[in-house]
Chain A
């Protein structure tokens, strides 16, 4: 359960693409151990915020404080090393690697073997490699697709690909797991299973940041949510309260109906 200490603080994050303000002065706080939802209409800047957070884009202004460290200006692999892992809206697996290998790649950032170790097959390299394989199997089992370990990632079913992305992200031992529309394209059963998986992950001490369109999932899962519209944060708070917020209703349904 959340202990109210902030894990991630975003302050004044601004990102322009040409003349378009994809994000303007977005500030929010994700607390340790909570499931934080990021919602908003299409094009509101949710994925841009993820990309800025994980170092794919550099913010024009603003900074992230994550677990006591400043993130702005860091490259994606540094952000991963600090403990933020993510999944992608349009699944980005290593399609021609097996499911197991995908998760093994996720261990890269927490392991050390270099070229010399690989060529000489030193004892240290071999034991590290064995540990990588063991952990990868554990994680595949954790998300429930261990039976597909040897199959190519791109041959997995859609739902299993989403699970594999989560397993790969968990392999980096994140403190914060950022999920970009994990339930997109899933049917009700799959969404329910996903919800249980995410609750299990949170139960194991990982904080979750979630972009999601499925309102039912967000309301049932998130401790707090923030709403983005045209690159601005228009609301933040408990799901039930945000749901009744007039600004949110207007953003979703348009001014005329508000």
Chain B
């Protein structure tokens, strides 16, 4: 339907140009009006878009509930951090380390996938949850007897991304514009997020994507139609993990510091919420979910100062309010939009009331 609206190629290019200009101006506009902290939040949102799109392959397309997804983010982050920091004195190039992190995470994806192939639903969720915890606890304890991960202290002074000697951790002045690290990372993350979106859309509309959905719909019928369900499921785990690994590496370079604390079960649940709230299986919905769930908690930080200003005292702690509203939002969503804010067309139909069927039967009669 969108295609019809942009049927004229010239109009379509104009629209693309306008969106591109908007995207280019966004960090600077946000910086000017809302402050630099919000540019940083946008950066984080872009990272979460990549993460959520990766999880969407596993959960949304293939229908495999994964509660330990943040482990792949951790694997990617540590792969980058260990090979681009004073920890071992190695300072690899990110052009090498990001693909390496993706590869390592992908291998971990297969390692997790292989023993869980026979599991579905709740049981799969329990095992993947355990896997996520195992990775985090390993990272927490791999400082003795040989110090690899530096344990709970985490890894510091991680190298920033560098483009031909230009470290993104420094500010640059271009004309009258100051390009701070948050701005330059914005453009890198934006490019990666766009790539993740394109890859997701193309996979969805392909032989492999159809096989994933077929397995979600009916695994036995899928195998009887000649789909190698084992390989196709492992492929979903590996692809999802790859997305997580890349965003993990980007996260490590962006923060300059990582510790096991950043990769808890709650983070896995958060990414899953982005996928589910946004609209499982629909790329647009997942992107929307990632943006909303990154931005809303940040916006609620203002609740404290606002109470102080209007009511003279802070009655509800902002962090309590966050969890309260978050819970409320989840319940309301489940009640009123069970398929997500922006569901995929199939999921919407899945949750639709059956009167649609009745209508079609009348039409057939």
- A106-162 at interface with B (beta carbon < 8 Å): 106-111, 113-115, 117-119, 121, 125, 128-129, 132, 151-152, 155, 157
Distance in Å: Cβ of A108 to nearest Cβ of chain B: 5
Cβ B217 vs Cβ A95 within 8 A: yes
Most buried by A among B225, B356, B361, B364: B225
- Taken together as a complex, chains A and B put the C-alpha atoms of A109 and B231 apart, in Å, by 13
Cβ B224 vs Cβ A54 within 8 A: yes
- Which of B213, B223, B227 contacts A97 (CB under 8 A)? B213
A171 contacts across to B, CB distance below 8 A: 225
Cβ A86 vs Cβ B226 within 8 A: no
- Which of B207, B214, B360 contacts A151 (CB under 8 A)? B360
- Taken together as a complex, chains A and B put the C-alpha atoms of A93 and B225 apart, in Å, by 11
- A60-114 at interface with B (beta carbon < 8 Å): 75-77, 80-81, 85-86, 88, 92-97, 101, 104-111, 113-114
B206-239 Cβ-contact flags toward A at 8 Å (1 or 0): 1111110110011011111111110000010001
Cβ B347 vs Cβ A81 within 8 A: no
- In the complex with contacts A119-B202, A155-B356, A77-B210 CB distance below 8 A: no
Cβ A118 vs Cβ B213 within 8 A: no
Cβ A76 vs Cβ B206 within 8 A: no
A155 contacts across to B, CB distance below 8 A: 356-357, 360
Is A31 interfacial (CB 8 A cutoff)?
no
Is A56 interfacial (CB 8 A cutoff)?
yes
- Taken together as a complex, chains A and B put the C-alpha atoms of A93 and B207 apart, in Å, by 17
Most buried by B among A96, A97, A110, A152: A96
A88 (CB) vs chain B CBs: closest residue? B221
B339-364 Cβ-contact flags toward A at 8 Å (1 or 0): 00000001101100000110011001
Distance in Å: Cβ of B363 to nearest Cβ of chain A: 10
Is A168 interfacial (CB 8 A cutoff)?
yes
- Which of B207, B214, B228, B364 contacts A118 (CB under 8 A)? B207
- Which of B203, B229, B235, B349 contacts A152 (CB under 8 A)? B349
Cβ A105 vs Cβ B210 within 8 A: yes
Is A172 interfacial (CB 8 A cutoff)?
yes
- Which of B206, B221, B226, B361 contacts A125 (CB under 8 A)? B206
- Taken together as a complex, chains A and B put the C-alpha atoms of A129 and B206 apart, in Å, by 8
B351 (CB) vs chain A CBs: closest residue? A96
A107 contacts across to B, CB distance below 8 A: 207
- Taken together as a complex, chains A and B put the C-alpha atoms of A168 and B228 apart, in Å, by 17
- Which of A106, A115, A117, A119 contacts B225 (CB under 8 A)? A106
- Taken together as a complex, chains A and B put the C-alpha atoms of A124 and B71 apart, in Å, by 36
- Which of B203, B206, B226 contacts A80 (CB under 8 A)? B226
- Taken together as a complex, chains A and B put the C-alpha atoms of A36 and B86 apart, in Å, by 73
Is B199 interfacial (CB 8 A cutoff)?
yes
Cβ A56 vs Cβ B220 within 8 A: yes
Cβ A118 vs Cβ B357 within 8 A: no
Distance in Å: Cβ of B146 to nearest Cβ of chain A: 37
- Which of A96, A115, A169 contacts B346 (CB under 8 A)? A96
Cβ B360 vs Cβ A119 within 8 A: no
- Which of B202, B217, B223, B357 contacts A96 (CB under 8 A)? B217
- Taken together as a complex, chains A and B put the C-alpha atoms of A81 and B228 apart, in Å, by 10
A110 contacts across to B, CB distance below 8 A: 226
- Taken together as a complex, chains A and B put the C-alpha atoms of A121 and B207 apart, in Å, by 12
Cβ A94 vs Cβ B213 within 8 A: yes
Cβ B224 vs Cβ A86 within 8 A: yes
A169 contacts across to B, CB distance below 8 A: 225
Cβ A121 vs Cβ B202 within 8 A: yes
- Taken together as a complex, chains A and B put the C-alpha atoms of A62 and B210 apart, in Å, by 35
- Taken together as a complex, chains A and B put the C-alpha atoms of A92 and B206 apart, in Å, by 22
- A156-188 at interface with B (beta carbon < 8 Å): 157, 168-169, 171-172
A152 contacts across to B, CB distance below 8 A: 346, 349
- In the complex with contacts A92-B221, A106-B225, A111-B207 CB distance below 8 A: yes
- Taken together as a complex, chains A and B put the C-alpha atoms of A151 and B361 apart, in Å, by 12
Cβ A118 vs Cβ B209 within 8 A: yes
Cβ A77 vs Cβ B220 within 8 A: no
- Taken together as a complex, chains A and B put the C-alpha atoms of A114 and B238 apart, in Å, by 14
Cβ A77 vs Cβ B221 within 8 A: no
B207 contacts across to A, CB distance below 8 A: 107-108, 111, 113, 118, 128-129, 132
- In the complex with contacts A56-B220, A155-B357, A94-B350 CB distance below 8 A: no
- Which of A75, A94, A106 contacts B217 (CB under 8 A)? A94
- In the complex with contacts A115-B203, A119-B203, A97-B217 CB distance below 8 A: yes
Cβ B208 vs Cβ A113 within 8 A: yes
Cβ A104 vs Cβ B349 within 8 A: no
Cβ A80 vs Cβ B224 within 8 A: yes
Cβ A105 vs Cβ B202 within 8 A: no
A-B contact sample (12 more), CB < 8 A, given A94-B213, A104-B210, A105-B211: A75-B228, A80-B223, A85-B225, A92-B220, A93-B217, A96-B349, A97-B213, A109-B226, A118-B202, A118-B208, A118-B209, A157-B364
4 A-B pairs with least C-beta separation: A109-B226, A80-B226, A118-B206, A94-B217
Q: Which residues of A contact B (CB under 8 A)?
A: 54-56, 75-77, 80-81, 85-86, 88, 92-97, 101, 104-111, 113-115, 117-119, 121, 125, 128-129, 132, 151-152, 155, 157, 168-169, 171-172
Task: Give 18 CB contacts A-B under 8 Å.
Answer: A56-B224, A76-B220, A77-B226, A80-B223, A80-B224, A86-B224, A94-B214, A96-B346, A105-B222, A106-B225, A108-B214, A110-B226, A113-B206, A113-B208, A125-B206, A129-B207, A152-B346, A155-B357
